[in-house]
Chain A
Amino acid sequence: MKIHLDQVTKSYGEHRALDGICLELEDARSLTLIGPSGGGKSTTLRLIAGLEHPNSGYISVNEQLVPREESALRNYRKSIGVVFQSYNLFPHLDAVTNIALPLEKVHDCSKSESIDRANELLKRFKLAAHGNKRPSELSGGQNQRVAIARSLAHDPDLILFDEPTSALDPEMSAEVLDVIEELIQQGKDCVIVTHQMGFAKRASDFVAFISKGKIAESGRCQEIFEQAKTPGLQQFLERELKY
């Protein structure tokens, strides 16, 4: 995938969340955004997802500018998948319907086609027995895997993960990270916001360190973790990898 961020700013009221983010990625399969909480990682991800508008600057994904106008933006969102920290599944629908409904209503698949596709994905993520359960009847790890299946169902060009394991215990985190790693290995383009440095090190080929609304350092995974240049990143990694 190619991702370009050019002088992107975003403010919430007085708070300047992003203060001129610049990033140029020519050919990366997986990009990981790391950095301290409140530094702007998730905001960057949401802007790439087209869920919010930047105040200024440009974002392009695979040489296509992320549109500003709402109906064009809606079409853009259809071409990607997003997985959220707290799963954000629809609580009134069972797992199969959570996956099938967007296919049917947004991507114009027939009902039976959508359900078949949903069941196929559930099977792939070892959830075949849980298709008729609602999110309240599933564990956090299971819910997150359903959410990943939902984001994957329409075969998007790019999947964005916003702290996908922050709400999970270590065992469930591992379940979910295994799935994400598998997707990357199969060639799916992913952008991941995570606090799991071990995972970032292992699965990403490009890493951007975002702090105080700017990209303080970015580079190939190995460079970032083994030859960190800026003191900010060095301190951050030291703290994160301490325990």
Chain B
Amino acid sequence: MRGLLFEKKNNGEAQVSSLASVVSFTLAFSILCLLTLAAFASLEYHWNWSSVFKYKTKFIEGWLVTVLVSSLSLAFACLIGGLSALAYRSRFLPLRYLFKIYVEITRGTPLLVQMLLIFYVFADAAHIENRYVVGIIILSLFSGAYVSEIFRAGIESVGSSQLLSAKSIGFTPYQTFRYVIFPQALSRSLPALAGQFANLIKDSSLLSIIAISEFTLNAQEVNTSTLSAFESFFPLAIGYLLLTLPIFHLSRRLEKQLTFDS
């Protein structure tokens, strides 16, 4: 019994058998489920799944929009973040400061504020009618600032001995970046980048504020038509977990791979 609940130390090395993992996980999960059930029981809530089930296509459509918007935003965020990380190294100072200001302001203000500002002021001024396009721009700019910091940290993590080596070989600055800095910085950025993608997916829920029919807004609409709040929001939570859990898992695996490689 003890062996199923406690980590074993074998010559100072921690060991957990797969059976112990399963048992302990089931136990922890059951406790959480019981607590939740108890809370709902005291609420005397009357579940009404059938009314919500009718809207299943609305959930699926919303979920797909979330996946699409987040993926496109991540692609653009990588582009912006890459440019920004390069601009940080630029010898042309105004460019460097432009991106510094962008990163600081974006990281220092709430997404909601940026969203309202871009949607009502900048997008309006630029006559961008399609709110999905605006939504992708908002998320890309927001996430780009974080990706920029991830890339910058990756670039700076390439040690001076590598640069010295590249110099002694006779690489030009471009070749040093292309063959030495970039590949190493990229592989070191991947775990954090995967984590950022998971954050981006969750952050995309705020797009419901500007009436983009993504997962959260659709769930809210189902709630309004059926008046079944919990039945609408449970699938929402599960829909997000379906996306974020594998990504976090991937991020952790990449991290392990990285420690193995270096």
Contacts and interface: CB of A to CB of B under 8 A. Distances in A.
Nearest to B188: A92
The bracket for how many chain B residues form the interface is 10 to 19
A84 to B, nearest CB: 7
Contacts of B50: none
Interface string B36-78: 0000000000000000000000000000000000000000000
Interface of A: 49, 51, 74-75, 77-78, 81-82, 84, 86, 88-92, 101-102, 105-106, 134, 136, 150
Interface in B176-213: 179-180, 183-184, 187
Interface of B: 161-162, 164-165, 167-172, 175, 179-180, 183-184, 187, 260-262
A82 B161 CA distance: 12
A77 B165 CA distance: 11
Closest 4 CB pairs of A and B: A88-B165, A78-B170, A82-B168, A102-B169
Contact of B164 (A51, A92, A102): A51
Contacts of A77: 167-170
Given A90-B180, A92-B183, A92-B187, A74 B172 contact: yes
A94 to B, nearest CB: 12
A196 to B, nearest CB: 21
Given A102-B170, A105-B175, A88 B164 contact: yes
A106 B169 contact: yes
Nearest to A102: B169
A105 B162 contact: no
Given A102-B171, A106-B170, A136 B262 contact: yes
Contacts of A86: 161
A105 B261 CA distance: 25
Among the interface residues B161, B164, B170, B184, which one has the most CB atoms of the partner chain A within 10 A? B170
Contact of A101 (B162, B179, B184, B187): B179
A77 to B, nearest CB: 5
Given A90-B180, A134-B261, 18 more contacts: A49-B168, A51-B164, A77-B169, A82-B168, A84-B164, A84-B165, A84-B168, A86-B161, A88-B164, A88-B165, A90-B165, A90-B179, A90-B184, A91-B262, A92-B183, A102-B170, A106-B169, A136-B260
Contact of B184 (A51, A82, A91, A106): A91
Most B CB contacts (10 A, CB to CB) among A91, A92, A101, A136 go to A92
A62 to B, nearest CB: 17
Contacts of B260: 136
A136 B261 contact: yes
Given A92-B184, A134-B261, A51 B170 contact: no
